[in-house]
Every structure is written in C-alpha cells, then in structure tokens.
Amino acid sequence: AAASSGGLVAYADSGSDAAVEKPQLPQRKKVIVLGTGWGGTTFLRNLDTRLYDVQVISPRNYFAFTPLLPSVTSGTVEPRSIVEPIRRILEKKGGEIKFWEAECFKIDPQNKKIHCRSNLGTNLDGNGEFLVDYDYLVVAVGARTNTFNTPGVVENCHFLKEVEDAQKIRRSVMDCFERASLPFLDEEERKKNLHFVVVGGGPTGVEFAASLHDFVTEDLSKLYPSIQHLVKISLIEAADHILTMFDKRITNFAEDKFGRDGIDVKTGYKVVKVSKDAITMQNPATGDISVPYGMAVWSTGIGTRPFIVEFMKQIGQGNRRVLATDEWLRVRECDGVYAIGDCATINQRRVMEDISEIFRVADKDKSGTLTVKEIQDVLDDIYVRYPQVQLYLKSKQMNGVADLVRSAKGDAEKESVELNIEEFKKALSLVDSQVKFLPATAQVASQQGQYLARCFNKMKDAEEHPEGPIRIRGEGRHRFLPFRYRHLGQFAPLGGEQTAAQLPGDWISIGHSTQWLWYSVYATKQISWRTRMLVVSDWTRRFIFGRDSSC
C-alpha cells in the first residue's frame, strides 16, 4: 500500500498471483542505512532507491541540522526549525523505504546481519530486539562525546550534540538566572550560579560561548538588571590556543574579541574533575584549582561508539581508535560494509606501499627507468589515487615532475633525467608525511554520503570493473574514482554579529559582512524549504523582538 507513485509500483514486492505475468525483475539487493544524521541522510537523498531494497535504522526519526545547535541553546533558533522528520525525506523518495526507530547494537559481518533494539515496544521474547540482514550496510552512526574518562563529567556537565542537549542547556541557563535571583541567596551563591563554564576551545565550544555571551548581554541583562554584573563566562582549553584548527589570524582575533567581551579564556588548563559545585582544572604553573560554577558544557571532542569498538575488534581493527575504510569508503576485509562520517576515517593508501607497482605502470617502455615524460603521463592518476603527492609538491614549492626528478638526482647530475627504482623511491620517500585526516564535520559526512550514493547508483557497472591500486589511463571508464574531499571553507561565529571564515585557498575573512555570508550559507544549506522558512523567520524574529527567554 505504501508504494503508490507510478513507476515505483513495478518494483514493489509482487503479489503472488500476478507474479507470473510480470517481467522477471532481478531481486533487488538489500541496503541497510544506519543513522539519520548528515552522512546517512545525504546518502539516502542521493540514492536511486528504485535500484535497491532500502531500509533505514536510527534511534532518531529525524535529521538535525547540527551547525545551528548553538543557536538553539540561546533561543535564536527554535528546535523544530532545524529538524526534518526522516519519514518526510523518505516520502519524497517514493515512499517505499522502510524506517525503523531502533538502534543497532551489534554487527555480524560473517552472516551479514545486524542486531537491533527498539525501546518503543517488545517482541515475544519480551525485549525490543530484532535481526536484519543486508547485502550492503552503510554505517553512518556518527560519534559520541568524549569525556576522556574525566570523573564527574557525565553526571554534571551538559553536552551539545543532539537537539535535546541544546534544549536542556537553554533551560539550564534560565534556571541559573532564576536561581541567582532568589531572595535567600548571598552574593557568593549568586555569583556561583551565574558562572557558566565551557570546556573545550574547538569550534563548538567557542560558538556556544559566543552565543551565550550574546544572549546574556543582549537579552538577559535587561531582564535581570540587578544580577547581570555577576555573570561570568569561562572557556577552558587544554592547548595553548582556542580554535587551533583555524588560521592563526582567526585564533588571534577570537582570543582578542573574547578578551574584550569579558569572556575568561583559560588556555593551557586541563579539567581533571567535575563535582556538583566545582570544576577542578590543572595547569603546570598553578597546580590544581577549583572554581565554583552554575552550569558547565563539555565539548572537548568525539569518540567511537561502543558497538563500533566491538565491531572493530571482530574485524581485526581492535588496535585502532576509529573505524578505518579505504578511499572508496569500504570497511576493509568486510564484504558489503561501508562507513561514512564521524564514525569512520579514511585510511589513505601510502605511496611507499605501492611504489613498485606505480613504477611498473609508469615505465611504459619497460626500460627499468622512468623519464620525466613517463612520470608526467601517470601523474594525474597518481594525484587522484594519492592526493598526498600533490600536497607534497605544493609544500616543497616544486613545479611538477622535473623538480621532483632533480630533487632525487641531486644537482650534480642534472643532465641525467631518468630515475631507477631506488631514485624513484627516494624522490617520493617523504610524500606520505602529507597524508591528511579529514575533520569530523557535516561537510565531510555529507560529501561522503553523496559520493557513496553515486557509487551505489552505478554499482552494476562497477562490479564488472573492480579498481586497482592506481587508475590507469584509458582503462576502466566505469570505475569509480576514490572519494575526494572538497573543502568549501569553515565558519567560526564569534558573537556580536561577527563571524570568521576560512575559505579555500586560505582566504580569511572576519567581521560583520562574514556574518551575513554565514546567514546566507546556512539558509541555503537547509534540507527543505520548510526548515529554510522557519530558520529565516526565527532570525528575523530575533532581530525584531530579541531572543525568547521563557522556558
């Protein structure tokens, strides 16, 4: 009954009697998608779902636009404006995709099955568990917050990962202000309640601190005039600077701006314990210090989900910290399993592992040496397969192969321009140091989801053309290129309608105009017209009436 729209009906499970007359359609392979975040949702939206029997499993029946979560904490944007029900997304795809609100707790790659559990109902055994089998499994379950086992964090700190977290933070900020206003508190206790601590000076922690500061100075100070001077925001970072993943200019600007805003940026401090009333941090110079606080948000990084850790042990990745895939996003040694987004990392193939093979392919005339031209001919393919080579040449300011050859030969032998295998190895011996790990961002997860969907849409072609260690010109037209990340830039909203942006080519832009760029980019990136409308109207409402402080 679900399959209603036109052409798709033909693919639905055929009724028993009519089956004989219908043209025999090949059995569609089962694709199971775990997770409805950035990776999973982008994969689904780009997948040709007529080709597969698609099932989606996630404990969350909606997609959340995480970059706007910090705005939810201050009420700039409403929670419902940044979520899109997954069933609405699936409906647009033709309505025959199955969704189950459940979480996967075990992957069984030998039998190609996953174990799931729903807490919405129970089966005959009295639990909510069920088994699902797959031909292809797309793991897009994201990461968990990492507390580094710091005592008291789970019990006493807020995280900022899910929509519920943002709502809780907002309520907690309001509670702190109301508590600090109670008649029977003394000054010390009011101060304690109005001390907001953010642990972690990465993009999320910084943006949250900035948006909290805006909320306090622009809205709450008017509503709580008698206690507003007691408010303090601290940002604690273990490294020497905040926003270390950004250009130095952005880091400096952010630190200066926070300084002027009165946000206490404590760099070089490591939080070692959190109790109900105080946060204890450590600095080599000062030793342990404990500060009372009213509310704390923990945002120091991400870790691997426990069931993924178990899965990694099963498939011989027990010694790794993050699930590794190859550049086609396939989990190695694990037929039919793919992983994208924050739950996985690409294990970039090293040039030095394949150096003999590369040499053999490049040496077209089988002379046992490579000329500049021979290397030149395979260079584009090498760049695609091993992006670190291009990064290396750039970092050494080499203008291509001639420079590379010269570097291997040494100046003395400039005339001889052929490399033997040893010299070729020497020339490329340092390139693998340029291997880059991709950041855990929505940008990476969604590009991976899109890439993988395209691969799935062309899977038939590709099965007949499996890929080799390097793509050889003229061969394998249907073969997929490895996944390649295109960095479109990154924003760091700093409050007061000012944002910093680091755009491709190390373009830096900071200030009010960048804030407008931010507004337009995030309006554009919304997943539907409905959420786009809601977000823009939230922003407009905020401009006119300020933030809503009722909770």
**Distance of closest approach, residue 435 Cβ to Mg ion, in angstroms:** 14
Helix (H, G, I), strand (E, B) or coil at 348: coil
Query: Each residue of 86-101: b (16+ CB within 10 Å) or e?
Result: beebbeebbebbebbb
34 near ligand FAD, judged by CB under 6 A? yes
90 binds, among ligand FAD, Mg ion, none (CB under 5 to 8 A by kind): none
Long-range pairs of 178-182 with CB within 8 A, sequence gap ≥ 24: 179/294, 180/224, 180/227, 180/230, 180/294, 181/224, 181/226, 181/227
365 binds, among Mg ion, ligand FAD, none (CB under 5 to 8 A by kind): Mg ion
CA distance from start to end of the chain:
42
201 binds, among Mg ion, ligand FAD, none (CB under 5 to 8 A by kind): none
46 binds, among Mg ion, ligand FAD, none (CB under 5 to 8 A by kind): none
470 near ligand FAD, judged by CB under 6 A? no
200 near ligand FAD, judged by CB under 6 A? no
**C-alpha–C-alpha distance, residues 177 and 154, integer Å:** 23
> What angle do the packed helices 372-385 and 387-395 form, to 10 degrees?
110
- Please work out the total of residues on this chain that contact ligand FAD, with binding judged by CB under 6 A: 33
What's the 3-state SS for 122-180? Answer: CCCCCCCEEEEECCEEEECCCCEECCCCCCCHHHHCEECCCHHHHHHHHHHHHHHHHHH
147 binds, among ligand FAD, Mg ion, none (CB under 5 to 8 A by kind): none
Helix (H, G, I), strand (E, B) or coil at 371: coil
39 near ligand FAD, judged by CB under 6 A? yes
Nearest to 153 by CA among 236, 232, 267: 236
341 near ligand FAD, judged by CB under 6 A? yes
The torsion angles phi and psi of 237, rounded to 5 degrees, stand at: -135, 135
φ/ψ bin of 268: left (φ > 0), alpha (ψ from -120 to 50), beta (otherwise): left
**C-alpha–C-alpha distance, residues 53 and 44, integer Å:** 12
212 near ligand FAD, judged by CB under 6 A? no
**Of 78, 96, 103, 538, the one binding ligand FAD by CB under 6 A:** 103
**Of 32, 35, 456, 492, the one binding Mg ion by CB under 5 A:** 35
**Of 32, 38, 67, 266, the one binding Mg ion by CB under 5 A:** 38
What proportions of the chain, in percent to the nearest 5, are helix, strand and coil? 40, 20, 40
69 near ligand FAD, judged by CB under 6 A? yes
Would you say 172 and 208 are in contact if contact means Cβ atoms under 8 Å apart?
no
**Distance of closest approach, residue 60 Cβ to ligand FAD, in angstroms:** 4
Helix (H, G, I), strand (E, B) or coil at 239: coil
Residue nearest to ligand FAD (CB): 37
Residues 6+ apart with CB under 8 A from 22: 10, 14
367 binds, among Mg ion, ligand FAD, none (CB under 5 to 8 A by kind): Mg ion
Which 8-state DSSP code applies to residue 370?
B
197 binds, among Mg ion, ligand FAD, none (CB under 5 to 8 A by kind): none
493 near ligand FAD, judged by CB under 6 A? no
- Please work out the total of residues on this chain that contact Mg ion, with binding judged by CB under 5 A: 10
Q: Which two tokens stand for residue 354?
A: 């394949």
57 binds, among Mg ion, ligand FAD, none (CB under 5 to 8 A by kind): ligand FAD
67 near Mg ion, judged by CB under 5 A? no
Q: Return the range that interacts with Mg ion (CB under 5 A); candidates 102-110, 348-356, 358-366, 463-471.
A: 358-366
* 293 vs 424 by CB, closer to Mg ion: 424
70 near Mg ion, judged by CB under 5 A? no
104 near ligand FAD, judged by CB under 6 A? yes
What is the contact surface with ligand FAD in residues (CB under 6 A)?
34-40, 57-60, 66-67, 69-70, 103-104, 140-142, 160-161, 204, 305, 307, 341-343, 440-443, 445
What is the contact surface with Mg ion in residues (CB under 5 A)?
35, 37-40, 66, 140, 363, 365, 367
